[in-house]
């Protein structure tokens, strides 16, 4: 049984909108809670004010673009909340990004999942081998990036 495209798109949009808005509000709440502690003054320092101004100006673009990344989406939406990005700027960016994300996952993502499930149904060892190959590539990319970052930091120290 296949899910109709419109239903899949709507469900994915709803899921991602809930997730990013919860993340945004966690960021807002964290800053509100922090402001009542002895660290609250750090939110008013010039560097913090400049960072907040930068997020106010470029944050909506970062929010939209975060939906095209893996691993940065949560951090950027949390940062938008922590920087107290106004909802009038955050919500349109979150909606646009959520539409992009839902469309990508409803097309490419679900097609890949369906293809993998078809392979798993006919050849479970083949499906396991495919997953192992994908995991190996991910680990390899992470290791290479970490080595390059370590190499760059070692070069700057010398």
Same domain, 84 and 52: yes
CA distance 34 to 47: 17
Structure-token pair, residue 45 = 């320092």
Which class for 85: exposed (0-12), middle (13-18), buried (19 or more C-beta within 10 A)? buried
Provide the number of structural domains found in the chain: 2
Residue 9 has pLDDT above 60, yes or no: yes
* Three-state secondary-structure class, residue 85: coil
Q: Quick one: pLDDT at residue 118? A: 83
The predicted pLDDT at position 129 comes to: 86
Averaged pLDDT for residues 90-95: 95
Q: pLDDT by residue (tens digit) across 51-91?
A: 667 777 778 888 898 898 877 788 888 888 988 898 999 99
pLDDT of residue 11: 93
Burial of 106 (0-12, 13-18, 19+ CB in 10 A): buried
Confidence at residue 33, expressed as pLDDT on a 0 to 100 scale: 83
Bigger pLDDT: 64 vs 47: 64
Indicate whether 28 and 57 sit together in one domain.
yes
Structure tokens at 5: 């495209």
pLDDT of residue 10: 94
For residue 50, give both structure tokens.
């400049």
Q: Which domain holds residue 130?
A: 124-158
C-alpha–C-alpha distance, residues 122 and 125, integer Å = 9
Q: Are residues 20 and 97 in the same domain?
A: yes
**Average pLDDT for the chain:** 83
Between residues 38 and 95, the one the model is more confident about: 95
Tokens of 84: 């107290």
| Cα–Cα distance measured from residue 19 to residue 15, given in angstroms and rounded to the nearest whole number | 6
Same domain assignment for residues 19 and 74: yes
* Domain match, 73 and 114 both: yes
Torsion angle, alpha carbons of 46, 47, 51, 56, to 10: 0
Each residue of 107-125: pLDDT tens digit?
887 777 778 888 888 888 8
In a shared domain, residues 83 and 146: no
């Amino acid at each position: 049984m296949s899910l109709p495209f419109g239903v899949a798109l709507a469900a994915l949009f709803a899921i991602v909108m809930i997730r990013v808005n919860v993340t945004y509000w966690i960021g807002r709440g964290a800053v509100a809670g922090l402001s009542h502690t002895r660290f609250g003054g750090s939110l008013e320092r010039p560097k913090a004010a400049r960072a907040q101004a930068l997020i106010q100006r470029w944050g909506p673009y970062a929010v939209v673009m975060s939906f095209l990344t893996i691993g940065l989406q949560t951090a950027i939406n949390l940062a938008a909340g922590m920087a107290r990005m106004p909802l009038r700027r955050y919500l349109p960016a979150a909606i646009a990004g959520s539409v992009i994300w839902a469309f990508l996952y409803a097309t490419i993502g679900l097609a890949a999942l369906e293809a993998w499930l078809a392979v798993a149904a006919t050849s479970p060892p083949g499906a396991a081998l495919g997953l192992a190959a994908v995991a190996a590539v991910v680990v390899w990319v992470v290791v290479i990036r970490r080595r390059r970052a370590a190499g760059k930091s070692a070069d700057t120290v010398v």
